[in-house]
Structure 1
């Protein structure tokens, strides 16, 4: 699995960005958000149980990520058409303000090393990537356990200080002085 300090892979995928079929799809690649931090939230499958709870929760906080000059994206190995059908049929996802990346050929999950060996789908992995394309945080949850978007936001805040941040540090609190 690619980890901290490594370059996030180059990629180009189709993404579902709307429920309007005329404007539903967009190509997104590693150069789509220059100068921004990027947060990738990989999840196993559309039309499942834990995944929509996470996607909705992260989507509800999209403005907070945006306020930190970060682009949030969710991704699975389902196609952009399956993403569209899911968004059109699940009220929790209809107004999702973030792109849903379709890694249909599993190239990105394979490059990252997060393809589940049993199911062949994306593991429940989260990456925070800095504006230079360097992975600064990675976490992977068991397939049955959803993530906490507040914790990902806290880690992003800590990374953006470029300081030493103690356990449970919150934005606005003092950082550590190593001297």
Structure 2
């Protein structure tokens, strides 16, 4: 069953953000747009490149009213140690959520049970707490923050313009489509 348009499940976790440990719950993801990015583990190879790419685009996400949450099955203590030792992770200003019990990872169906690690899952959640985008990658395939930013803008556009949809490669300011009987077979 797809998670698209389902409401996020309850959770409570501790995250590392801006030199502090903070509590993050499902309620924190509601009331604004959120991006939850699962990654396999701290102190790895592809993960820091992705989290650094998100950090480099974080201000753009914030301008759109979007908070980013990085999640792995590591502890919040591990996230702090990684932040203190990695130049790439030092750039991260968004919360790095510890999920050592795997609750959140299982809630989003990205747990690799035999390894206790998460797949590379990306979820865009609307202010009502509904999942609007879900992408799950093999752990060898890194993601691109600029493409995620484009998709967030499309999701926000569609949410604020009922009856319109964004075609392939849509970028902010480009034309959208209004599905209708007149368009059938004309595209």
TM interval, short-chain normalised: over 0.9
Does the C-alpha gap of structure 1 residues 61 and 47 become closer, same or farther in structure 2, counting only changes over 3 Å?
A: same
The answer on whether the counterparts of 1:2 and 1:113 sit within 8 Å (CA) in structure 2 is no
Structure 1 position 98 matched with structure 2 position 94: yes
Q: Is the 8 A contact 1:2 1:112 kept in 2?
A: no
Quick one: which of 28, 37, 41 aligns to 1:41? Answer: 37
Find the counterpart in structure 2 of residue 169 from structure 1.
170
State the structure with more CA Rg: 2
Query: Distance in 2 between the 1:9 and 1:152 partners?
Result: 23
Contact 1:11/1:108 (CA < 8 Å) preserved in 2?
yes
* Alignment match, 1:89: 85
CA distance in 1 between partners of 2:126 and 2:106 (Å): 21
C-alpha displacement of 1:34: 4.3
Unaligned runs of at least 5 residues, structure 2: 159-163, 181-187
User: Which structure shows the bigger proportion of residues in helix conformation?
Assistant: 2
Residues in 2 aligned to 1:118 and 1:104: alpha-carbon distance in whole angstroms: 14
Are residues 140 and 33 of structure 1, via their aligned partners in 2, closer, same or farther at CA, if it must alter by over 3 Å?
A: closer
1:137 counterpart SS class: strand
Q: Which runs of 5+ in 1 are unaligned?
A: none
Q: Which residue of 2 aligns with 1:178?
A: 179
Q: Do the aligned partners of 1:5 and 1:134 also contact (CA within 8 Å) in 2? A: yes
Structure 1 length-normalised TM: 0.93
TM-score, structure 2 length as denominator? 0.89
d(CA) in 2 for partners of 1:75, 1:49: 16
In the alignment, the residues of structure 1 paired with residue 176 and residue 86 of structure 2 have an alpha-carbon distance, to the nearest angstrom, of 42
The two structures, once aligned, show a CA RMSD in angstroms of: 1.3
- What pairs up with 1:1-179 in 2 under 5 angstroms? 3-18=3-18, 20=19, 24-162=20-158, 163-179=164-180
Q: Give 1:174 deviation, angstroms.
A: 1.1
Structure 1 stretches of 4+ moved >6 Å: none
